[in-house]
Amino acid sequence: MSETVRVSLPDGSAREFPAGTTVLEVAEAIGPRLARDTVAGMVNGDLVDLRTALTADADLRIVTAKDPEAGDVIRHSAEHVLADAVKRLWPGTPIDAGRQDHSEKYQYDFRFPRAFKPEDFEKIEAEMARIITEDLEFDRQEADRAEVREVMTEDERNEMLQRIYGTAFASKKELNAYFARLEELKRRDHRRLGRELDLFSFHPEAPASPFFHPRGALVYNALIDLMREKYAEYGYEEVITPQIFDVELWKRSGHYENYRDDMFFADEFDEVEERSMSVKPMNCPSHCLLFGGKAHSYRDLPRRIADFGRLHRYERSGVVTGLTRVRTFSQDDAHIFCTPEQIETEITALFDFIFEIYRLFGFEDIKFYLSTRPENAMGDPEVWRHAEEVLQRCLESREDLEFTIKPGDGAFYGPKIDFDVHDALGRAWQLATIQLDFQMPERFELTYVDSDGSEKRPVMIHRAILGSLERFYGVMLEHFGGDLPPWIAPEQARVLPITDAVNDYAEKVAAELTKRGLRADVDRRSEKLGYKIRDGETTKVPYLLVVGQREADDGTVSLRLRHRRDEGVLPLDEVVDRIVNAVETRSLKL
């Protein structure tokens, strides 16, 4: 190790320091005020704590409380203060590992003899405040993967722990903004919207498995209809595959070895047929069976096989959350079997497909990640290296995007590209995925006859765009705050008769809307118009068509758009055409 290191600073200057100098010591050398404000450092683009030693030449940016990265550091620090406070108040309390993601909050799990009470939280906050005034230093200890895995496994076997969440910010202003954001999150919570809009529900008899109501099923099926329409344009063929498979299939595919803890198995062994069965957690092995069921020529490829089959995965009760983490779901799942020469063309088309779909939902801010070979990877490392290079080349060929590499985060059968979509509140959701698989075709001995008459292995591309339909449903609801675009709204238009005397005309208006393929209804209740309008707003119907005697006489309607004032009295045909156009073009606007 060199005796000195060269530290390059954001202003273009560089300084020499003894090797082992910490980030904080560099800040102190620059100035005492900067040192007081320092919370961390960015070393070669990586966020590190302020006592990290610099052992080689590096680019360094001092992170202060005013910088965007400071929040993560502050909350991570508060997390450890929380653990210290609980230990001081109740000595001997066992604690679990903290949180990895500190973008909004921190947490610790505690094994405590009783449930924590509100007054306990007050004591904890007061103790944390005292600890902060002591101005103690943090002592960092590192452990290898094996040690961490052993500790985490033992925690999972132990009795239920209690989790305490918290958050922290550099200023009162940031804290107030956070609470305002929490209120907006509550307003948009898809679980609340699901109840209020009569879309779906959950019941203890089917844990973590949603029941979609008639209105909710209309939205669900609209998502499927969208994908089916695009499948026709992009050359996909849809299949239907079984729910239950012999366990031997999952052993052959590699899922039994790498995924069995997340699968549902039959309770009893079938002694007559001497076999065990399981419910499928994914479609890829069944698509391999389909492909391998007949001979293929290179002229048949690519084959794009799509499947909306229902999947089941054992998600532990502590992590299931509304629609975003369930045990039964469908995916807009597909697998492309192609020649090696077709990979880049297929992935380029997938990018176009994905962007086209996301634009329909107003998802413009997308982050891209390339995940490479994990520890449990199947197959030859050289094949993996080639697959990673192919995906990286596909990403680099698009000048309109930048990507981040996630080392070791690939699937056990191949590297992948993940798409993180940011919703209206700026939250990231991992939705689409493209996975390049050379392993499963090998395991299932899939072949095609090439132009020279030789047998070759196809390449398998796993892909989903919406991902889990259930999860996407929840993300979409929160993104729009329940105000779904007209094309996917369960009720697209509602006719509001002012009096019973015009009910016949109201029915005629609704019939005209229905005839044009719209989902429309009449509010036939003998209520005041104001009540009907408020109910239409509450149920988030995009178009309210108010009709009175004048409208009935003139063949018009008074159009009211969701969350807006009246558009005025307009001819019925003009209003119907307007709504039909918004639906057919899948417009985000009313």
Q: What is the pLDDT of residue 274?
A: 67
Looking up tokens 């639906």 gives: 583
- pLDDT above 80 for 411: yes
Segments of 384-525 assigned E as strands: 403-406, 416-422, 428-437, 448-449, 455-456, 459-468, 493-497, 520-522
Rounded to an integer, the average pLDDT of 379-406 is 92
Q: What is the pLDDT of residue 400?
A: 79
284 is catalytic: yes
Q: What is the pLDDT of residue 170?
A: 86
Q: Are 356 and 230 in contact (CB under 8 A)?
A: yes
Residue of 190, 373, 416, 519 with catalytic role: 416
Instruction: Check the CA dihedral 80-84-90-91 and report its sign.
Output: positive
Tell me: the pLDDT tens digits for 311-350? 999 988 878 889 999 999 999 999 999 999 999 999 999 9
- pLDDT above 70 for 294: yes
**Which residue, among 517, 512, 506, has the nearest Cα to 583 in the 3D structure?**
517
Q: Are 390 and 348 in contact (CB under 8 A)?
A: no
Token couple for 43: 């070393």
The 3-state secondary structure of 157-202 reads HCCCCEEEEECCCCCHHHHHHHHHHHHHHHHHCHHHHHHHCCCEEC
331 is catalytic: yes
Query: What proportion of the chain, given as a percentage, has pLDDT over 90?
Result: 78
Q: How confident is the model at residue 222 (pLDDT cuts 50, 70, 90)?
A: very high
Q: What is the pLDDT of residue 143?
A: 64
Residue of 313, 519, 540, 560 with catalytic role: 313
Q: What is the pLDDT of residue 343?
A: 96
Residue of 72, 109, 332, 333 with catalytic role: 333
Separation between Cα atoms, residue 107 and residue 91, nearest integer Å: 19
Q: How confident is the model at residue 142 (pLDDT cuts 50, 70, 90)?
A: low
- pLDDT above 70 for 141: no
Tell me: the pLDDT tens digits for 47-97? 898 889 999 999 999 999 888 888 888 999 899 999 999 999 999 999 887
Average pLDDT over the chain reads 92
Residue of 107, 109, 284, 342 with catalytic role: 284
Contacts of 264 (CB under 8 A, 6+ apart): 278, 279, 281, 312, 313, 314
More confident residue, 145 or 199: 199
462 is catalytic: yes
Residue of 102, 280, 303, 335 with catalytic role: 335
Torsion of CA 84, 87, 88, 90, to 10 degrees: 150
- The bridge status of strand 520-522 relative to strand 556-561 is unpaired
Residue of 188, 287, 462, 519 with catalytic role: 462
190 is catalytic: no
Q: How confident is the model at residue 172 (pLDDT cuts 50, 70, 90)?
A: confident
Residue of 76, 255, 331, 338 with catalytic role: 331
**Which residue, among 54, 39, 75, has the nearest Cα to 9 in the 3D structure?**
54
Tell me: the pLDDT tens digits for 247-263? 999 999 999 999 999 99
**Which residue, among 539, 532, 546, has the nearest Cα to 483 in the 3D structure?**
539
Q: What is the pLDDT of residue 152?
A: 58
586 is catalytic: no
Q: What is the pLDDT of residue 65?
A: 87
Tell me: the pLDDT tens digits for 536-580? 999 999 999 999 999 999 999 999 999 988 899 999 999 999 999
439 is catalytic: no
- The DSSP code sequence of 98-109 is --S--SS-EEEE
Q: What is the pLDDT of residue 533?
A: 96
Q: How confident is the model at residue 147 (pLDDT cuts 50, 70, 90)?
A: low
- pLDDT above 80 for 150: no
Tell me: the pLDDT tens digits for 226-282? 999 999 999 999 999 999 999 999 999 999 999 999 999 987 666 556 678 999 999
313 is catalytic: yes
Query: What proportion of the chain, given as a percentage, has pLDDT over 70?
Result: 95
Rounded to an integer, the average pLDDT of 431-448 is 96
H-only helix segments in 38-171: 70-89, 118-133, 145-157
Q: Which residues of 550-565 are buried (b: 16+ CB within 10 A; e: fewer)?
A: ebbeeebbbbbebeee
